[in-house]
Every structure is written in C-alpha cells, then in structure tokens.
Amino acid sequence: MTPPDLHTPWPAEAIWEQVFPLLPDFTVEILPEIDSTNSELMRRARAGQHEPTLLVAERQSAGRGRMGRVWQSQAGDSLTFSLSLPMSPQDWSGLSLAVGLSLAESLHAEVGLKWPNDLWFQSRKLGGILVEAASMGGRSQVVIGVGLNIRPRPAEGLSTAPAALTELLPQLTAPACLSQVVPPLIRAMLDFEHTGFAPLLSRFEVRDVLKGQRVHTSDGQQGLCLGLTPGGALRLQTDLGVQEIHSAEVSVRPLPKDTSS
C-alpha cells in the first residue's frame, strides 16, 4: 500500500474565501495534533467563544465517537474536523441527519446514510458524525464533528474493515475532501436553521440504507424499517405496532438476511 499523502497543503484560505460572504466572523484553523477537535470547540464554546470556526486536526489523540466510543484515525488516511456555529433553529430535530445528507451529497452518488449519523458504502461505515451543543447566556453553539475514512485501514478489532472514500474517488486526499464538503455543509446548516429537516426527507430517503430492511436496536427492539418521520425519527414496524425511535443514543443494525426460505 502507498504511504499516506502528508504533503498536500490544506486549502484553508480557499475555504475561508467561499464561506466569508456567508459568515463574516468565520475562521479556519489547521492543527497538526489535538486531543479531539470536538472537545476543543466545546471548551471554547463553554468559555463564551461564539465565532463560527472550522478546526481541522491531522491527528487526534483522544478522538470521540457517538455513545462514548473512541474514534480512531490515522493522519493522511482520514479527515477529522469540527465546525462550531452559533445556531438557533426553531426545531433541532434532524440536525445531524441534515449534516449527513449534506456530506453524502457533496461526496458521491453512492454514499449511503445509516440513521442517525453514519455514512455508509457497500454495508460498511465510511464516516461518522458527532453533534454536540453548548448553551451559554441564552445563546446556543453547535459543534459538528466529522470523521471520514479517506484511505482503507485495517479492521482493528471490528468484524469488517471500514469503507474508504478512495474506493469511490481514487484520487481523493484529505485536503481535497475538506474543500469538497465544508462550504456545502455550512450552506446546509444555514438553510436548516430556517427550514428544519422536513424538506430534506425525500433526499435522505434516496440514500437511506436501512429503509425496507429488518433491523434490531441497542434498546432491544426488532422490526422492519419504514424510513423516517418528517422530524427525523426512525419508524419501525414491530410486533407491537409502528414505533418511532428518536434518540441518537440508540444504535441500529440490519439483521442478517434469513437464508432458510
């Protein structure tokens, strides 16, 4: 395998130029290493810093995933960044789904979405999203953390090795991926503040990898996935009727296909 490309410059200025007309206080920072870009932007938000900020780290020493999991990544083989934005939507539900949709649409037609926060390709995870929020003095700041696998990496204890974006876009580098996804993501977040998730539902459905599949959830439910509600909850047809799962703290997995019939 070729070594990771650690020499392509980061397109900080080009991204800033695209975003500045939308967010005049916007700043871009690229760091060689930090514990976690989400942790750093949450610390800043709690300290009262509300400027819209894109923070990219080449390495994270304590990357965090959803549900208290560790997020592992290798410099050059993955893209890890967080975006901190002051936001006050009327309805927060579906925000992380809107993030996933924007990323998928700006990456490739074959990138799927697995509720609530995973980017998926051919039944394997391609990337994840960790959305956190801080409220200070009546203002809300949202921190959107994104981890994308650019190049293949070993399974490292997982049952299947994760997917990588170079399977779809062979020439892609982490810096090129950053400029491809960040400006559309910021536009999507500004739109979300006004419109919420409902207008995005049909576009999410096109990429929804769970719809029509039998799934089980980490809180013990099983059923056929019917898709999402306009508020972004997952609809499951179970033996007890249609259940709506709202919590992002629940994980959902497809059941193995029944091969007996």
Q: How far is CA 91 from the centre of its chain?
A: 19
Residue 66 binds ligand BTN, judged by CB under 6 A: yes
Q: Taking the complex as a whole, how short is the minimal distance between the CB of residue 181 and ligand BTN, in angstroms? A: 13
Please pick, among 125, 153, 187, 203, the residue that the annotation labels catalytic.
125
Q: Are 111 and 126 in contact (CB under 8 A)?
A: yes
Residue 130 binds ligand BTN, judged by CB under 6 A: yes
Segment interacting with ligand BTN (CB under 6 A) among 2-10, 63-71, 213-221, 227-235: 63-71
Closer of 69 and 246 to ligand BTN (Cβ): 69
Residue selected from 60, 141, 173, 217 as contacting ligand BTN according to rule CB under 6 A: 60
Segment interacting with ligand BTN (CB under 6 A) among 6-14, 32-40, 169-177, 229-237: 32-40
Q: Taking the complex as a whole, how short is the minimal distance between the CB of residue 77 and ligand BTN, in angstroms? A: 13
Spatial neighbors of 36 by CB under 8 A, at least 6 apart, are 57, 60, 61, 62, 63, 64, 71, 145
Segment interacting with ligand BTN (CB under 6 A) among 24-32, 62-70, 84-92, 221-229: 62-70
203 noted as active-site residue: no
Please name which of 83, 41, 36 lies closest in space to residue 59, comparing C-alpha atoms: 36
Closer of 89 and 147 to ligand BTN (Cβ): 147
H or E element: which one contains 194?
helix 174-195
41-46: long-range pairs with CB below 8 Å, 24+? 41/82, 41/83, 41/84, 41/143, 42/132, 42/134, 42/143, 44/84, 45/84, 45/134, 45/136, 45/141, 45/143, 46/134, 46/136
* Sheet with strand 252-254: strands edge to edge: 241-245, 234-238, 222-228, 214-217, 252-254
Closer of 133 and 226 to ligand BTN (Cβ): 133
d(CA 185, CA 46): 23
Closer of 242 and 246 to ligand BTN (Cβ): 246
Q: Are 178 and 193 in contact (CB under 8 A)?
A: no
Closer of 60 and 84 to ligand BTN (Cβ): 60
Q: Taking the complex as a whole, how short is the minimal distance between the CB of residue 137 and ligand BTN, in angstroms? A: 25
Residue 145 binds ligand BTN, judged by CB under 6 A: yes
Binding site for ligand BTN (CB under 6 A): 36-38, 60, 63-66, 69, 71, 80-82, 117-118, 128-130, 145-147
Q: Which residues are catalytic?
A: 66, 125, 253
